[in-house]
Amino acid sequence: MAKILVTTADLERAAPLQWVFQPDDEIQLVASAGDVRTALASGEESHALVVSGGLRESETEGLIAAVYEEAPQVPIVVLLGEGEPLPSGPDAYVAVDEYFEAPLDADEVVLVVRRLIDRKALQSELGIVGKTAAVREVVERVVQIAPVGSTVLITGESGTGKELVARGLHRLSPRRGNPFIAVNIAALPETLLESELFGHEKGAFTGANSLRKGMFELANGGTIFLDEVAEMPLGPQTRLLRVLEQREFMRVGGSQSLKVDVRVIAATNRDLRQAVELREFRRDLYYRLDVLHIHLPPLRARREDIPLLVHAFIQELSREHRREFKGIAPEAMHILVGYDWPGNVRELRNLVESMVVLAPGSIIRSEDIPPEVRGDARRRLPTPVVAGSGLPRTADAGAGAAQLPQMEFIFRTLVDLKYDVEDIRREFELYKRRHPELTGAREAAVVETVGAAVGRERPEEVEVAISAADSERLAEEEVIEFRPGMTMEELERAAIVATLKSVGGNRRRASEKLGIGERTLYRKLKEYEIDA
C-alpha cells in the first residue's frame, strides 16, 4: 500500500485522482503547505506528493523546496495549470520528478506516480540514492542487465559506488541465492593473486600445506566481483581470459581442469582503453570484459543528489551511533553542495559520519564542517617535498630548510594566481551570458584595452573587461556599495536585495539576472531573512 499526498490548490483536478489510484492506496488530500509538513512529520512514511494548481500558486515554490529539504526521498509530481508552460532553466525545480500539462489524463498520472514509487523501492533495495537523470539511467541499466548472465564492466572514479552496483546486479539476478564474492585485485600481492583467484593444490609451492579453493571455485553458481581489475598483472590476465571463454580453470600446481558456472563483474577507475594502448592490459581480455557496460558519474556531476545522500547518511549513521539528529542547517547543506568531492560518495559518507559523531548539537551546522571543505581547499595545497625527507626538493637538506618559507610563499602565490585567473574567466563568461551585446569587434576592443592595461603580451588571452559605455550604463542601475570589512554574505545579501528591487520583486526574473536557480534563490531568501 502506498500513501500519496495530493494538494487541493486545484480541487477540481485533485479530487478525481483518489478514485483512479488502486483501492489499497491511501490518498490524503492536503489543503496547504503546513498540512504537507504535518503529514511528513507524522512518522508514517509518505510515498509521493502530487502538487495541483501548477507553479503559479503562491505556496507552490516554497512547498516544493520544503519537501525537497525535509523529505528528499519523496517523489514530487506537479500538475501544471491551464496554458502554463513547462518550466525551463539550468537549475529550476530540480526537486520535481515529473510535470503534467493540461488537459490532465488521470490514468497517466497514476501510472507515472506508481512508477516513481516502484523506482524508489527498487533504489532502496539496491542501496542507490539519487533522483537525477544519471542515477535513473544507472538504475534502469541495472534492471535491464541483471537477469542475464553476461560479463559486466563497471567504470567510474574511486568512491562512486561500483561495488554497490555490482551487489545490486547480483541481488536482482537469478543467482541471488548463491554466493557473491568480492575481490580487490590491487590488495593482493602478485605472487599470491593466482592462488587466491584459482586456488592451489597441496605442495604446489612452499607453504602450500593443503589444498585451497580459489575465489572462482567458491563463487560457483553465483557472482564474482573483480574490483580494480586494471591492476591485474599480465600473467593472471591470461588465465582470467580462459575462464571467461572456456568456463574452466586449473588450480595452481594442478593438472585437472575444473568447470565453473560464475558470472564475472569487473570494475575499474582507470581508462582500460588507454591501458590497452600502453600494453598494460590485454586487448582480448578488455573486449571480453566489456560485454555490458555501466558508467557511474562522479558526485560533482550530480550535485542535486547531495542533499538526498546527506539526509540518508544522517538517518543511517545517527541510528548506528545512537545519536539524535534532526538534520542539517541550510547554510551547511549549501557548503556541501558546492564542494567538488574528489573522493565522491565515499568521502561524503565519511564526512557525514564524522559530523554525526563530533557535532555538539542535534543539527549539523556550517561550523561542524571541516575547514578544508568549508573554506577554499585549493588555497591550502601542500608544499612539494621529497618522499621521506620532509624538505623541499633542493640539493641539500640545510639549504632546503633555510629556503622552506620562501619556497612555500612562491608556491602558494602561484597557486593563488592560477585560481584567481580561473575565477576571472568564470566571471567573464557569466558577464557575457548576461550581456549578449558584448560580442564581435566590441569584445575584441575591450579585451585588447584590458590586455594593454595589465601588460599582457597577448591581449587576446585576457577574458574579462567592461567598456566605458558599459560602465556608464551600469551607473544608471542599482549600485551596491562596498565597505571595507563587509563579508561575502553581506555582499551576497545586498546583491539579492538590489536585484529583487530592480525587477519589482519577481523571483523568477531575479534568479535569471543573478544566474542562480529559483530554488537556490528561495533558500537564500530564507537564509538572509529577506522579505520579497
- Span 342-351, pLDDT tens digits: 999 999 999 9
200-213 average pLDDT score: 81
Q: Which amino acid is at 28?
A: Q
172-189 average pLDDT score: 93
Q: pLDDT: is 114 or 467 the higher one?
A: 114
pLDDT at 483 over 60: yes
Provide the 3-class DSSP secondary structure of residue 201.
coil
Q: pLDDT: is 162 or 201 the higher one?
A: 162
pLDDT at residue number 90: 41
Supply the pTM of this predicted model.
0.62
pLDDT at 384 over 50: no
Map grid coordinates 509518505 to a residue: 46
pLDDT at 168 over 50: yes
Q: What is the CATH number of domain 488-527?
A: 1.10.10.60
Domain boundaries, the chain: 3-126, 135-297, 300-375, 414-475, 488-527
pLDDT at 438 over 90: no
Percent of the chain past pLDDT 70, that is, above it, reads: 76
pLDDT at 78 over 50: yes
Does the fold of domain 135-297 match that of domain 3-126? yes
8 A C-beta contact, residue 266 and residue 289: yes
Q: 291: pLDDT confidence band, cut at 50, 70 and 90?
A: very high
Percent of the chain past pLDDT 90, that is, above it, reads: 26
Q: Tell me which of 14-18, 116-120, 244-248, 486-490 is least confident.
A: 14-18
Q: Tell me which of 155-159, 186-190, 409-413 is least confident.
A: 409-413
- The whole-angstrom distance between residue 423's C-alpha and the CA centroid of its chain comes to 23
Q: Name residue 40's beta-bridge partners.
A: none
Q: CA-to-CA distance for 209 and 8, rounded, in angstroms?
A: 74
Looking at domain 3-126, its CATH architecture is 3-Layer(aba) Sandwich (3.40)
Q: Does domain 300-375 have CATH number 1.10.8.60?
A: yes
Q: pLDDT: is 279 or 38 the higher one?
A: 279
User: Going by DSSP bridges, is the β-strand pair 258-259/248-249 parallel, antiparallel, or unpaired?
Assistant: antiparallel
53-78 average pLDDT score: 78
Q: Environment class of residue 524 by beta-carbon count within 10 Å: exposed (0-12), middle (13-18) or buried (19+)?
A: buried
pLDDT at 474 over 70: no
What topology is assigned to 135-297 in CATH? Rossmann fold (3.40.50)
